[in-house]
Structure 1
Amino acid sequence: MMNIVVLTGSGISAESGVATFRDKGGIWSKYDITEVATPHAFAHNPALVHEFYNSRRQALPSVHPNAAHIALAELEAGLKDAGWRFTLVTQNVDDLHERGGSRNILHMHGELLKSKCNGCGDVSECRTDLSVELKCEACGRVGGLRPNVVWFGEVPYFLDETAHALNDADLFVSIGTSGSVYPASGFVNQARTLGVETMELNLECSENARIFNKKIYGPATKVVPQWVSNVLNEL
């Protein structure tokens, strides 16, 4: 039995043209996170927050899954056929994993293509611009719709599900993450405490690289497909 849990960050989508957050020239070098990515920011200036996320949502159709996304979908299918389990936990709010073919995905930081009502909590598909004039179809409230994205100061989604997956895992792999954002940066510690083997696939060392049992560095489109091929060949 080999159950694998994979965590992905913005590094896996960077080669598709999706802007990263913390790298040099990334999103947080151009925007003040306190103005566009906190509950207070939305309460203070919802129009600006909508403008920021609307532009990111509009850009999604112009980017496409790369070889790393597709390889992870192939790994999921291969493990499923062998009777094993694969859990993909992503910090990314884009839909490239879905378009790449992955199915068992936990979006711990939410999804850009969904909206959430601050009033009733309803989550719905959203592929158009959001604004303060829109009404929640579930409760009728106007002005409460927000991107279904976890902001700074909010609790990420699916932490219990991730913990359960790690508890049953034989291998934890972190791909394209900075290792600086908690609680995702703590998953490797959880895995090590449970006796789970750990691996980092990244363009360069993350901030918590020293904790991983094994590290492989290079572009995600090269190292991820090669690693997946090795795993599938061992099935």
Structure 2
Amino acid sequence: MSASEDGGRARYVAIITDGNGRWAQSRDLPVAEGHKAGADVVKARLRDAVELGVEELTVYSFSTENWSRSAEEVTALMRMFSERIIGETPELKAEGVRMRFVGRRDKIAPALLEQMDWAEAETAGNGTITLFIAFNYGGRAEIVDAAARYEGGGEAAFRELLYAPEMHDPDVVIRTSGEQRTSNFLLWQAAYSEWVFRDELWPDFSREAFVASLSEYEARSRRFGGR
């Protein structure tokens, strides 16, 4: 299918998983409970993605700006992230998921870095789907870090210096919670991605909402600057 025709099946999908805190607050729950619910939804939608033919799923789990949140929230997030890696990596490995973490490695505790490296190594041989987890990630930071090492050669050479040069440009980026911003997410990779904005808070983002988002993408026409 040419670039000027309908979008076709979405093979590469990225999601800004927004709204965990508001979901918790609306239920008089601690914010940490919202993040736990959101992590459960990531796992559920990952399994849906496999069934729907998605080959790469990228989720925005923690940005370079999120360090500005309260120490209590950041500590809870780091603890949960560690627990999820340890507890779920064997399961994801068995399901054929390849895990890749993209983002800066500074500020992250050495023990957590070891767990991230372990999860990547454990799942490196899998090919059912690749789950890119944007953690301590910022699109500007990624470009700045690549530019610091760039010695010329054009876009292809520059792309090789990004955090995950093997990542395909997303066909579609989905953002939940009603917000309509890019929020420093995949600024290089999403230059020509379609965007779908959903009103659901992330913990409420169901399989049906996921399917509707992909259907909206598939109905669009992508021209990539052409006619």
TM-score calculated relative to the size of structure 2: 0.40
Q: Which structure exhibits the higher relative contact order, with contacts defined as CA atoms closer than 8 Å and separated by 6 or more residues?
A: 2
Q: Which has the larger radius of gyration?
A: 1
